[in-house]
Amino acid sequence: MKPINDTFLRALKREQTDYTPVWLMRQAGRYLPEYNATRARLGSFLALAKCPEAACEVTLQPVDRFGLDAAILFSDILTVPDAMGLGLSFVAGEGPVFAKPVQSEEAVAALDVPDMEETLGYVTEAVRVIRRELNNRVPLIGFSGSPFTLACYMIEGGSSKDFATVKKMMYTRPDLLERILDVNARAVTAYLNAQIKAGTQALQVFDTWGGALADGCFERFSLRYMKQIIDGLIHEHDGQKVPVIIFTKGGGLWLEQMAACGADCVGLDWTVNLAKARRRVNDAVSLQGNLDPAVLFADEAAIRREVRRVIDSFGPVGKGGHVFNLGHGINQHTDPEAVRILVDEVHTYSRRMHEL
């Protein structure tokens, strides 16, 4: 069933809209006091993510507060490797940690695609609960990490500043890395298809660390596997197209290649000029982005000015589609009032551009 407010979906399909839709990466998170209260009640991040009713609660919080044009499933990109049995935990001050990093030939050979319902049924149940509670107001976005981004955490055993272990494997044993990436791609495909069947109406693949790769390596070790996922997805469900967004932080160098991989939309970070990006892809896909999240630490006048600059940069919509977003996730120290100002300015100012 088509959402009451389907502006986001129409923008992804480059159809006519009355204004530029907006949602924000990490829109449900620690900058919101209501999120912190829910998380405290559950006791931990993982407990929150694995409770469908609580995941629904925090998914809806920013939609209710700000009037955003899409909700995004509250979960974590590391649910997939966790389901593979790698032992995910979150350590204060360190972030995610895997008890069983994948660093040996034996560990790579042991990897397999997990049973989605058995290991990740809490995610699909959260999707069903969220769709029911959203009551068709706005679309629900599902997501996963990209195969390469997941591999970075799986091989390093957690977060990394230089990805030395991953890159050592890439250059010395590319066959091992490609085995990991293939398993990840098949797992992510099954995971996203399960989300679609449960009710997500659009998808985003977060290639957070693809931009750390060298030219040539990005195409081989990241983009190739995102394309494999897109080729294997359910592209229509419940009579409606399910658009796909890919977002590679630091990926502006490969914009043309990303636009040709089969995705409906390419997300851009704040280093990319939207007008030039439109010309480079010739409006073949919609574009998402790309305000610097640090702008939200500025005063109201600066926030509104920078929002207008992004919208002006994209220019008249015409046959192109623009989804306003940040160039990466909201910083946890952001004042929620800054987000309210951003959303208000996007909705108000962009209507003028859509009249052109």
pLDDT tens-digit profile of 267-301? 999 999 999 999 999 999 999 999 999 999 999 99
CB 114 within 8 A of CB 84: yes
Helices (H) and strands (E) counted in the chain, each on its own, are 16, 11
CB 26 within 8 A of CB 293: no
CB 255 within 8 A of CB 215: no
Q: Which residues contact 106 (CB under 8 A, 6 or more apart)?
A: none
Low-confidence ranges of the chain (pLDDT < 50): none
76 has catalytic annotation: yes
Alpha-helical (H) ranges within 157-299 are 164-172, 174-198, 217-218, 224-232, 255-259, 274-281
Q: What is the pLDDT of residue 94?
A: 72
The CATH label, of 3.30.43.10, 3.40.50.300, 3.20.20.210, 2.60.40.2250, for the domain at 7-354 is 3.20.20.210
Q: Is 339 helix (H, G, I), strand (E, B) or coil?
A: helix
pTM of the model: 0.96
Q: Determine the residue type at 75.
A: S
Q: How many CB atoms lie under 10 A from the CB of residue 333?
A: 9
The per-residue DSSP string of 72-93 comes to E----TTHHHHHTT--EEEETT
What pLDDT, in 10s, does the model give residues 111-169? 999 999 999 999 999 999 999 999 999 999 999 999 999 999 999 998 888 999 999 99
280 has catalytic annotation: no
14 has catalytic annotation: no
Q: What is the pLDDT of residue 2?
A: 87
| Active-site residue, from 30, 65, 224, 280 | 30
Domain locations in the chain as residue ranges: 7-354
* 146/149 Cα distance (integer angstroms): 5
For residues 220-247, one letter each, b for 16 or more C-beta atoms within 10 angstroms of the residue's C-beta and e for the rest, the string is bbbbbbbbbbbeebeeebeeeebbbbbb
Structure tokens at 254: 């490969």
| Active-site residue, from 26, 65, 137, 186 | 26
Q: What is the pLDDT of residue 356?
A: 60
CB 58 within 8 A of CB 74: yes
Structure tokens at 119: 């290991």
Residue given tokens 């068709």 in the structure block: 136
Give the residue from 53, 56, 8, 63 showing the smallest Cα distance to 32. Answer: 63
Give the residue from 143, 272, 151, 276 showing the smallest Cα distance to 220. Answer: 151
Residue given tokens 């896909």 in the structure block: 285
| Active-site residue, from 19, 31, 35, 153 | 153
* 228/224 Cα distance (integer angstroms): 6
For strands 240-241 and 236-237, give the pairing: antiparallel
Give the residue from 263, 127, 267 showing the smallest Cα distance to 191. Answer: 127
Give the residue from 310, 300, 316 showing the smallest Cα distance to 269. Answer: 310
Q: Determine the residue type at 174.
A: P
CB 226 within 8 A of CB 267: no
| Active-site residue, from 14, 19, 31, 76 | 76
Q: How many CB atoms lie under 10 A from the CB of residue 13?
A: 16
Q: Determine the residue type at 76.
A: D
For the chain, the farthest-separated pair of C-alpha atoms sits apart, in whole angstroms, at: 60
| Active-site residue, from 10, 39, 278, 304 | 39
